[in-house]
A and B are shown apart, each in its own frame.
Chain A
């Protein structure tokens, strides 16, 4: 479904001329926000490359050189030598800033080893990069609706989610009909909100993608020593008998 088709469906619920187009655009924009608040979806992923400044270990995500005004969250970071071709990982999110402040001196120099995100600033450690290292930030961003005659993953695979969200917003803000809004909100996210409806389907799909791509499961030792932890292994649930 292209954006204009979603717009026409929402329009049809409010009358062709009763819902000003500028309000309709707001409804679709806020509808997308309502959806994206519920998870870090796959279409929000991406990467941004930038270059460190020597002796500068603090970078605002919404300012140069990162310039991500729609930044949502960070996933990972890596770095490479200025003329190198191999990316090396930066431990990102594994330590808090207060821990890293203690671990590193304020004038430690070198390539980036660790990073922490605080508010909208990325702090790199050691705090003084000794070279202008290229850095790659893997991130999530808040997304915008596509152009009028274009589509994206949300509109292609879960168009009703955006439509329900936009209609919910319209009922609340335009019609001021909170009971009507509750009906559309339930279609979007069930009750409790987020546990059903289109949102549940989307989060399930999102989890499947994340499960395959990002989550690593390691068998744990315990009752089933040296064996995989799975449902068919009854030793997990009972005492070892041998």
Chain B
């Protein structure tokens, strides 16, 4: 955007030009399927979720209790040296009230997503999950205490969604 440049290239077209045949294009739909390996740490994490528990790994050098668990501490690069359970309660670190779904379509009822710092893990250690049973979304506050609502044991498969959502704890 220098004053020495008189013309900036680019032929603008509108999205409707595709529909109306004013612009030519090729379409393609890639068929890519994946079987992601959960790895050592998350395989155990998922197994424990099936049992209704949340597990973390510990680094004795950095004195951290980490969730989601991992086999190495990314700060000191030593292998993590223990497993420990953390609670399924915690505090809302931050949250958002979304009127957009994952595919960018508009929602009438919002989805509330939050980072929840779990009790028993190191400070600031959180997982991301949904918040429900909140009543009015304007009442949700950072710092609010929440608890996991689990699927019944027979419906759990070993997935993050074995926890349905977190709900505000009335103290």
Q: A and B from one assembly?
A: no
